[in-house]
Amino acid sequence: MIQIAVMGHGVVGSGVTNILLNHNDEIAKKVQEEIYIKKVLDLRDFPDSPIADRFTKSFEDIINDDDIKIVVEVMGGINPAYDFVKRCLQNGKSVVTSNKELVASKGAELLKIAEDNNLNFLFEASVGGGIPIIRPLNQCLSANVIDEIDGILNGTTNFILTKMIRESMSFEDALALAQKLGYAERNPAADVEGHDACRKICILASLIFGKHVYPDAVHTEGITKITLKDVEYAQAWGGVVKLIGSVKLNKDKQEIIVAPMFIKNDCQLANVDDVFNAILVKGDATGEVVFYGKGAGKLPTASAVVADVMDCVNHIEQRRNIYWEDSDNRDVLPFEETKYAMYVLVNTENKADTLEKAEKLFGKCDVISKNDADEKELAFVTPVMKFADFDKAYKELSDGTSQTVTAIRIADI
């Protein structure tokens, strides 16, 4: 029998205990061991739980119990998760986590402690919820040079954008629904401002480049400024707006960004709706590989956590080879240097004059026409250009007769 502890009994944690209790026999057959939940750490009381007697409010009950060999961390956030996880690894306990904030900010350090102690630190659930992506990148695709990953990495924002696109639902109503369904973070700003997707693309980038990419090096924009009008212009252009996390190898630099982008309807990510995530990986031997599934929610995420626990049980004496070095972010290309075509929306008294001025500033632009557009609106797509050059020209476009409203990148996927 392998004894484990679960730290956190929220959405994911309760899913983990559900799966472990409900699938106990099947899991035991697969790993040739019974997995016994000895302790569950949470500050709240759960008197109706079938294992209510195993709940504790004290981390010391876990760290001081030498029989507990694997600890699941599903509390989320950095404090106290970082301290608890570090102490578990320093005290001979393997750790499984779904905590992307922890992995994105402390991954290199925790992987090193795990390696030094011949333990596992596994985090499949930290990216893509129930979608297998960490293990495929680390194992199945490891013979490839992977030079690009593009993904819809946040279920909440994809759910919100889908509701806006398909049902013209307001941003606020769609967010409230996502929260009710348990998709959103405790502080949904992490979702809608793009930080959650940023943490996930950092984890994937760190894994494929073998060096830690920290979130503060990544230009991150969320979806709070996306309007139903942008959604309609994307449709008129032949696509949809999606929050994209992207990492590319550009010579010896990493080009990495999280931002809402227009993607064409024939792109493999365009029809990824609701809480679903999809991750497009470009390998030099495989070509494109797409991973698709539920990126958030209780049981999909818990499924990935429990599979990691099972992997730990199977490798209790021999750690899984997953590792990246620490870094100082010097390999990340400044986002001003990245190149995209841009959708621009302008309110203007004179469309012809504004378009002429825009083409002097940006080069040849493609106008987007939309039925029932306001007669003062001018929408167009610029050529591909360096962001620094775009930004300078964009600021010069507004004048006494025209006012820029918004600009959104056109994805090059």
Footprint of ligand HSE on this chain (CB under 6 A)?
129, 154-156, 183-185, 191, 196, 295-296
Extract the runs of DSSP E, i.e. beta strands, from 106-167.
121-122, 146-152
- Nearest distance from C-beta of residue 109 to ligand HSE, angstroms: 22
d(CA 20, CA 5): 12
- Nearest distance from C-beta of residue 354 to ligand HSE, angstroms: 38
Q: Residue 127 or 346: which CB sits closer to ligand HSE?
A: 127
How would you classify residue 329: left for phi > 0, otherwise alpha for psi between -120 and 50, otherwise beta?
Answer: left
Q: Residue 247 or 346: which CB sits closer to ligand HSE?
A: 247
Partners of 96 in the β-ladder? 72, 122
- Nearest distance from C-beta of residue 185 to ligand HSE, angstroms: 4
User: Would you name the residues annotated as active-site residues?
Assistant: 200
CA dihedral 328, 330, 331, 337 (to 10 degrees): 140
3-state helix/strand/coil string of 279-341: EEEEECCCEEEEEEEECCCHHHHHHHHHHHHHHHHHCCCCCCCCCCECCCCCCECCHHHCEEE
d(CA 370, CA 364): 19
Residue pointed to by tokens 């029809």: 271
User: 358, 380 in Cβ contact below 8 A?
Assistant: yes
User: From residue 126, how far is each of 51, 76, 300, 323 by CA, in Å?
Assistant: 26, 10, 12, 15
Helix 155-167 with 228-237: angle, nearest 10 deg:
80
Q: Residue 178 or 267: which CB sits closer to ligand HSE?
A: 178
- Nearest distance from C-beta of residue 166 to ligand HSE, angstroms: 18
CB neighbours of 142 closer than 8 A, spacing ≥ 6? none
d(CA 388, CA 375): 30
- Nearest distance from C-beta of residue 129 to ligand HSE, angstroms: 5
Q: Residue 301 or 404: which CB sits closer to ligand HSE?
A: 301
- Nearest distance from C-beta of residue 73 to ligand HSE, angstroms: 14
Backbone angles phi, psi at 290, to 5 degrees: -115, 130
Q: Residue 42 or 185: which CB sits closer to ligand HSE?
A: 185
Q: Residue 196 or 308: which CB sits closer to ligand HSE?
A: 196
CB neighbours of 45 closer than 8 A, spacing ≥ 6? 55
Q: Residue 84 or 183: which CB sits closer to ligand HSE?
A: 183
- Nearest distance from C-beta of residue 161 to ligand HSE, angstroms: 12
